[in-house]
Every structure is written in structure tokens, then in C-alpha cells.
Amino acid sequence: MQTFLYAKDLGNLSDALALAKEIKANRYAYEHLGKRKTALLVFFNNSLRTRLSTQKAARNLGLDVIVLDVNQGAWKLETERGVIMDGDKSEHLLEAIPVMASFCDIIGVRTFAGLTNRQEDYTEHVLNQFIRYSGKPVFSMESATAHPLQALADLITIEEHKETKRPKVVLTWAPHPKALPQAVPNSFAEWMRAGDVDLVVTHPEGYELDPLFVGDARVEYDQMKAFEGADFIYAKNWSCPGVTCPENYGKILCQDRSWTVTERQMAVTNDAHFMHCLPVRRNVIVSDNVIESPRSLVIPEAANREISATVVLKKMLDAIQ
């Protein structure tokens, strides 16, 4: 595997889930694969889970790890070609990427959507430069439009906790004071469609996700109706994807706190498990009672990030042996 951005990059999903199960039972099974190889993790944005779980996964596979926080200690990077660099940016990605690549065998990149230019975000402008100019396998650690390591961990978590063969999984928008990317809901919808679940997406009007990810999944604008009989509730805020109204791209269209997930909505579910990728704002996205309930999976879900990252790094190492 040379790049990891979409579900299809992983190949057969059932095989990948079987590998995840095997790795969870013995996370050091492939310890020899990364010997004398180095993974470089490049962060343009903050992270707790991705930073820790991906380092742990790399070590499970015997890889050395270098972490670079671009905005803390490195030179400020220009990402556009053709710019006259007489401002605050000292170095261009076009030099920085091949230099970074000369010290590693695999590169992970976290580069969030700017949320101002839809076309730039949806063409994965920064991640694609890493793919093009590094000559190394590159994986997204949440890029402009996708967070595949999270979505794979979510699917693993649902497989572990489902009580019916084909559970009803509801992706619900929830309010948030800041404009957030669409990467998490995009990948969640994409990976649930690739998996064997009954996916329903619910959000206020104007928040329609890009068809590239959401496909023909059922959309229900009435949140209570969507929650009826659900086995899993996956909450997440996202800003306007600009699908129906391009000029609203990246904007907050709704702050309605009646969308906050509380016991009121959970009462109509099939005793659903609650999920969120974290970090989460309590009592804005979800009430204390719901996130603390015995049906909440947020901690095992985060712990499965080590498993999803081990699966992905293993498959990248397989390709460069």
C-alpha cells in the first residue's frame, strides 16, 4: 500500500478487519517488519490520540519514529508554488518534503482543511504534495477531507460491540462553537458504507456531506426519527461542506443545542452505544450522562486507534520489504 487516504486503499476490508483482530490479540506479531526503518509523523495541527497511537503502532512493528510538529520549532512552510516568499514563510514544501523523506521510509501527515477554499481542501492540496514529492508511502493522519485511521478504528469498535449482524448506525451532527472540518464524518460515512451496517445520517439542512463519501446513504433531517431503533450513535460536529450552497463552505450554519446528544434522544434507540472520535466538548456535543454511561464506547474506540494504525503501517511495510 503506497498511500492511505480512502477505504479502498486498504484492499479487502474483511481481510483488514481479520488482521485487526489478530493484531489486537498479539500486537507485537509483526515486530520484525520495521527493523531499521523509520516512520516520520508530520503534524501541521494539534493531536493527542493520533500522535500517541501512531507512535505506539510504529513501535509495535519495530519501527523507529520521528515526530515533527511543523508549527513548533520548524521553519514556517509555504504550500503554494509561485508565491514570492518575502513574507513570514521561510521554506517551501517543495524543498521540505524531499528533505523530510530522506530521513524516513514512511510518512504520516496531519494537515486539516483550511475551510476557506473548498477546491483546495477537496483536492487534498497539501497531502498530495507529500505523495508526489516524497517518493515514500504516505498516510493521512487526518488530512483536509478524510480521517481514515479514525474510521478504521470506529469500524473495528463496531465489529467488536455489535449485537446484531447488520447494526443500525446513526451518524449525527451536533453543535460546536468553532467551525470544524468534515474529515471525520466524511470518512465515517465512507467506511460504514464499505462495511456491513445500516447507515443513517442526520443533520440540519445545509450540512449535506459530499457524495464522494456519503454516497446514497439514507439522510434523515429529523434527529429523533433517525435515532429510533439505532444500535450505535456516532456524534460529530462539522462545518458546512458547501455541497448545496458553495458560498457557505466552512461556515457554521446552526448552533441549535437541541441537537446535543442527551438521554432524551438516546431513549428512543435500541439501547445504543455512544461513539465520538474525541476530543469532545461535553454538554455541547454530548451530555455528561450519555458520555459516562455504560453504553459509551469513547475510550475503547480511542484505544483501537493503536490497532488501526498497526494494521495500516503493517500493510505499508509489507509493500516496501
Number of Cβ within 10 Å of residue 297's Cβ equals 21
- Binding partner of residue 48 among ligand CP, ligand AN0, none, CB under 5 to 8 Å per kind? ligand CP
Using CB distances below 5 to 8 A depending on partner kind, what does residue 315 bind out of ligand CP, ligand AN0, none? none
Which of 14, 3, 1 has its CA nearest to residue 194? Answer: 14
Please state the closest distance from residue 164 (CB atom) to ligand AN0, in A: 28
Of the pair 209, 277, the CB lying nearest ligand AN0 is at: 277
3-state secondary structure (DSSP) of residue 245: coil
User: How does DSSP classify residue 278?
Assistant: S
What is each CA distance from 164 to 20, 157, 186, in whole angstroms?
20, 14, 25
Q: How far is CA 137 from CA 107, 109, 245, in A?
A: 6, 11, 36
Between 53 and 60, whose beta carbon lies closer to ligand AN0?
A: 53
Q: Give the residue nearest to ligand CP (CB).
A: 50
The smaller minimum CB distance to ligand CP, of residues 37 and 49, is found at: 49
* Residue 299 interacts with which of ligand AN0, ligand CP, none, CB < 5 to 8 Å by class: none
CA atoms of 52 and 31, how far apart (whole Å): 18
Cβ proximity to ligand AN0: between 141 and 290 the closer is 141
Residue (129 or 143) nearer to ligand AN0, CB:
143
Q: How far is the CB of 35 from ligand AN0 (least distance, A)?
A: 31
Name the binder of 181 from ligand CP, ligand AN0, none, CB < 5-8 A by kind. ligand AN0
> Of ligand AN0, ligand CP, none, which one sits near residue 157, judging by CB under 5 to 8 A according to partner kind?
none
CB proximity list for 231: less than 8 A, separation 6 or greater:
162, 163, 164, 167, 168, 169, 269, 270, 272, 273
Taking the complex as a whole, the smallest distance from the CB of residue 116 to ligand CP amounts, in Å, to 21
Pick what 55 binds: ligand CP, ligand AN0, none; C-beta below 5 to 8 Å, kind-dependent.
none
Q: Are 206 and 244 in contact (CB under 8 A)?
A: yes
Task: Please give the Cα distance from 140 to 124 (Å, whole number).
Answer: 10
Question: Which residue, 101 or 201, is less far from ligand AN0 as judged by CB?
Answer: 201
Counted residue by residue, the chain has a size of 321
- Residue 111: how many CB atoms within 10 A of its CB? 23
Nearer to ligand AN0, 78 or 142 (CB): 142
Least spacing, CB of residue 309 vs ligand CP, in Å? 11
* Distance of closest approach, residue 279 Cβ to ligand CP, in angstroms: 6
β-bridge pairing 232-236 and 218-219: unpaired
SS (H, E, C) 135-152: CCCEEECCCCCCCHHHHH
Is the CB of residue 312 less than 8 Å from the CB of residue 10? yes
Interface residues with ligand CP (CB under 6 A)? 47-50, 142, 150, 277-279
Q: How far apart are CA 153 and CA 188, in angstroms?
A: 10
Query: Considering CB distances under 5 to 8 angstroms, the limit depending on partner class, which of ligand AN0, ligand CP, none binds residue 115?
Result: none
User: Where on the chain is the footprint of ligand AN0 (CB under 6 A)?
Assistant: 142, 180-181, 183-184, 277, 279
Q: How far is the CB of 49 from ligand CP (least distance, A)?
A: 4
